[in-house]
Structure 1
Amino acid sequence: MRLLVHFLIASNFRRFLCVQAETKFTVKDAILHWEKVFKKQNIPEPENSAGYLVAHVLGETRIVDILVRENEILSKKEKEKLEKLCECRLARMPVQYIIKQWDFRYLNLLMAPPVFIPRPETEELINIILKYIKKSKPKPTGFLEVGCGTGAISLSLVTECKSKLYGIAIDKSYLAVKLASMNVAAYKIDTIKVAFAELTEDGNLTEVHLNGSKPFMPDDKFDFIVSNPPYIPRKKLRDLQPEIKLFEDLRAVDGGDDGMDVIKSLMKLTESRLSEGGSLFMEIDPSHPKLIEKWIDENYDRYKLKLKKVYKDIFDKKRFVHIIK
């Protein structure tokens, strides 16, 4: 019902605010016009939203690429396409889903609802892991990513790491597995296997299936495990933006009552899947470091884990943890 309401609002705005076909409209005019419309309707990041949608209509992926074309006149077909895309944005559909792609670090990845959209903070996690690999002796060679979504983390690690690195990226969503597989194939990476599997509460993996084949990876252990798990405490879900609540898979963000459900399962997973001396990297909620340290202390006799370091993100919030075995 809420989704229908948003689309009705968007349709009404098309009637009153859309660009008239007979009006000459430059690229600059289009960006300013839709930025104004988005601001009036309290659409987050109105300038970027307008810029990316205009860029997409012009066949570009970045706003900077259309700056030199700001005096170019949009064709009738381009204006009509832009109006339709902007209606979707007025309905609070994320720009990433509207244009079906997004940049993450040095990658341009395919996007599709409801697969979770990688955030800028997660790019920092890549830097942390790459520094860890650079300093490690011997160099880590194999990793497991749990909850791969679009495949952004695994692809960034493999394409940016200067040493040989292979990974297995798993997700419990078949749509995510399909999308991540497409992104891996687009970059012709043969050292990443994308597979369907689910992390259970007790820290095990259900049978891992690669493209519908028989289970594989029965006994593999990895040099490190990485995950951007669901970590938002359930009571905070109501505060999420409509872009997330209406279009993204809430299973990718719902971390349970305290946000720790999947995080605990990941720490349990280290018992069977992490090599001795290996590392677990996770993106977390700022409230979690103390909870994680408490859990590690209470379960040390079994899992032998240690919280090595907590890292802050660009907003000075405790966002990442490095745990060692």
Structure 2
Amino acid sequence: IMYKTSWILNRLIHTHSGVSKHRVSRALLLLQQSAESQIRLWPLHFTLHGILVLVLSSQYIISHVIGEKTLECVPRKRERERVWELCSKCLTRMPVQYVIEEWDFRDLTLKTKPPVVIPRPETEVKNFSDFLDKHGLCVGCGSGAISLSLLRSIPQLRVFALDQSQTAVCLTMENANRLGLQDRLDVHHLDVIKDADVILSKCKPVDFLVGNPPYLLSQDMDTLQTEILGFEDNSALDGLSVICLILALSSKLLTQRVYLELAPYHPPVIQQLIEEMRLGLLYLETRCDLTNRSGSSKKGEYEVI
């Protein structure tokens, strides 16, 4: 049945385009197929609309809707309607992470909401031996991925987190409450550019600073995928000036180290900035992220002069 249905939909896709979209839509909504069959058929519909989406996108959505059921089950009518509703959002180029309103980061499942930047696996670290201190500062908390994963892994840790977006601050607190980590997290709606003095007054000296600050060059913004450019907060993607301010804050707040997730071409730029700004910071090393992209992670240390 699966192969026959796939053949029928493929025939529809290659016939009159104005009619085929409607017929494929009706077939996907009404056919009582297994979840696994729908996972394979939805990409045909995406292709019909000119969107090249991997099979995984429909798998995430269908698995989200049917929950713990096996993929061999036949979704009920309201589940098929829900799959249709969510997959239709993908036709607007909305990222699947926003469509299902949650995403995994390390061992956490976090709520997601546009335009807060989506948690990405490149930001994950393999071990926490460098973070076994008691107080940390997270600049640009977003959904809370970095700060909450650290809190989950290090029971004695406390984190002061901030973000220029009120939506991000609320989302971090929502995720912290869902995970039971709110008692060790202090979240503030502060802009590292506008509120540097407030940050210095509210935040006590910390053992380390972590963050995934804006690192794309302005001229590179137009090359981003529609899913990123159209839905994620551009202010969280564009600009290098905030990194200079983070370095300046680091020299006044840090007792040990700062870790920043940056673009592969940034390490020499950051190293030069540290030398020119004369803040008492020492550039230590560049580490690859989990995709093995050289230079995507930067590690600095506050050196007492």
Q: Which amino acid aligns with 2:144?
A: G
Deviations 1:143-184 (A, max 9, x none): 0101000001000001112x5110011101000000000000
Distance in structure 2 (CA, Å) of the matches to 1:12 and 1:246: 29
1:316 aligned to 2:293? Answer: yes
How has the CA–CA distance of structure 1 residues 100 and 22 changed in structure 2, closer, same or farther, with 3 Å as cutoff?
closer
Q: Which amino acid aligns with 2:287?
A: Y
Counterpart among 182, 186, 195 of residue 178 in structure 2: 186
How has the CA–CA distance of structure 1 residues 44 and 186 changed in structure 2, closer, same or farther, with 3 Å as cutoff?
farther
Distance in structure 1 (CA, Å) of the matches to 2:19 and 2:244: 47
1:120 aligned to 2:121? Answer: yes
After TM superposition, give the deviation of residue 285 of structure 1 in Å. 0.9
Distance in structure 1 (CA, Å) of the matches to 2:139 and 2:114: 19
Distance in structure 1 (CA, Å) of the matches to 2:19 and 2:175: 36
Counterpart among 230, 255, 261 of residue 214 in structure 2: 230
Partner of 1:242: 226
After TM superposition, give the deviation of residue 50 of structure 1 in Å. 0.7
Distance in structure 2 (CA, Å) of the matches to 1:147 and 1:318: 20
Deviations 1:104-133 (A, max 9, x none): 100000111111101110113xx36x1213
Contact 1:197-1:206 at 8 Å conserved across structures: no
Deviations 1:238-296 (A, max 9, x none): 010111111111111002xxxx2111111111122212xx1010011111111111111
Find the residue that maps to 1:54 and give its secondary structure: helix
Partner of 2:93: 92
How has the CA–CA distance of structure 1 residues 95 and 24 changed in structure 2, closer, same or farther, with 3 Å as cutoff?
same
Q: Which amino acid aligns with 1:132?
A: D
Aligned counterparts, 1:289-300, within 5 A: 289-300=267-278
Find the residue that maps to 2:176 and give its secondary structure: helix
After TM superposition, give the deviation of residue 24 of structure 1 in Å. 2.0
Contact 1:310-1:321 at 8 Å conserved across structures: yes
Distance in structure 2 (CA, Å) of the matches to 1:268 and 1:44: 43
Aligned counterparts, 1:232-311, within 5 A: 232-255=216-239, 260-275=240-255, 278-300=256-278, 303-311=279-287
After TM superposition, give the deviation of residue 217 of structure 1 in Å. 5.3
1:199 aligned to 2:177? Answer: no
Distance in structure 1 (CA, Å) of the matches to 2:175 and 2:56: 24
1:46 aligned to 2:54? Answer: yes
Greater C-alpha Rg: 2
TM normalised by structure 2 equals 0.86
Distance in structure 2 (CA, Å) of the matches to 1:12 and 1:149: 43
Aligned counterparts, 1:212-227, within 5 A: 218=202, 220-227=204-211
After TM superposition, give the deviation of residue 37 of structure 1 in Å. 2.5
After TM superposition, give the deviation of residue 38 of structure 1 in Å. 2.9
In the alignment of these two chains, the number of paired residues is 282
Deviations 1:38-82 (A, max 9, x none): 34555455211010011111135xxxxx5xx23211222221211
How has the CA–CA distance of structure 1 residues 112 and 288 changed in structure 2, closer, same or farther, with 3 Å as cutoff?
same
Identical positions, percent: 32
Counterpart among 155, 159, 162 of residue 152 in structure 2: 159
Deviations 1:196-248 (A, max 9, x none): 111027xx62536xxxxxxx953511111111001011111001011111111
Find the residue that maps to 1:207 and give its secondary structure: helix
Contact 2:251-2:281 at 8 Å conserved across structures: no
1:148 aligned to 2:141? Answer: yes
Q: 5+ unaligned residues in a row in structure 2: which ranges? A: 1-17
Find the residue that maps to 1:18 and give its secondary structure: helix
Distance in structure 2 (CA, Å) of the matches to 1:155 and 1:295: 30
Counterpart among 17, 33, 37 of residue 24 in structure 2: 17
Q: 5+ unaligned residues in a row in structure 1: which ranges? A: 1-10, 61-65, 134-138, 209-215
How has the CA–CA distance of structure 1 residues 142 and 42 changed in structure 2, closer, same or farther, with 3 Å as cutoff?
farther
Q: Which amino acid aligns with 1:243?
A: E
Find the residue that maps to 1:247 and give its secondary structure: coil
Distance in structure 1 (CA, Å) of the matches to 2:266 and 2:244: 11
Contact 2:112-2:143 at 8 Å conserved across structures: yes
Counterpart among 129, 132, 149 of residue 131 in structure 1: 129
Distance in structure 2 (CA, Å) of the matches to 1:120 and 1:25: 33
Contact 1:142-1:165 at 8 Å conserved across structures: yes
Partner of 2:82: 81
Question: Cα RMSD (Å) of the superposition?
Answer: 2.2
Contact 2:140-2:164 at 8 Å conserved across structures: yes
Contact 1:39-1:46 at 8 Å conserved across structures: no
TM normalised by structure 1 equals 0.81
